[in-house]
Amino acid sequence: MIKGKHVGIRPLQSDDAWILFKWFNDPKVTTDLGVREPRPSISLETEMEIVQDKIGKRSVRPFLLQDLALNVPAGLGELTHIDVKNASAKVFLVIGEPELFTDAFFLEALGLITDVGFMTMNLHRLEVRVPAYNDRLLRLYISSGFELEGRLRHDHFRHGAHVDSVILSKLRNAGGMS
DSSP result, 46-66: HHHHHHHHHHH-TT-EEEEEE
Q: Which residue has the higher pLDDT, 21 or 39?
A: 21
For 31, 42, 131, 149, the CA distances from 142, given in Å and listed in that order, are 22, 33, 14, 11
Using DSSP's 3-state secondary structure scheme, residue 174 falls into strand
Do 107 and 75 meet the contact criterion of CB atoms below 8 Å apart?
no
| Rounded distance between C-alpha atoms, residue 93 and residue 113, angstroms | 9
pLDDT of residue 51: 78
| Rounded distance between C-alpha atoms, residue 94 and residue 65, angstroms | 9
| Contacts of 112 by beta carbon, 8 Å cutoff, 6+ apart | 2, 4, 7, 8, 9, 63, 77, 178
pLDDT of residue 38: 52
Tens digit of pLDDT for each residue in 97-144? 888 888 999 999 999 999 999 999 999 999 999 999 989 999 999 999
CATH homologous superfamily, domain 2-124: Gcn5-related N-acetyltransferase (GNAT) (3.40.630.30)
Angle at 61 between CA 167 and CA 109, to 5 degrees: 65
Say yes or no to pLDDT of 67 above 90.
yes
| Rounded distance between C-alpha atoms, residue 59 and residue 40, angstroms | 24
This prediction has a pTM of: 0.84
Query: Around Cβ 43, how many Cβ atoms within 10 Å?
Result: 10
Say yes or no to pLDDT of 80 above 90.
yes
| Rounded distance between C-alpha atoms, residue 80 and residue 61, angstroms | 6
Query: Around Cβ 86, how many Cβ atoms within 10 Å?
Result: 10
Do 144 and 110 meet the contact criterion of CB atoms below 8 Å apart?
yes
100 secondary structure, DSSP code: G
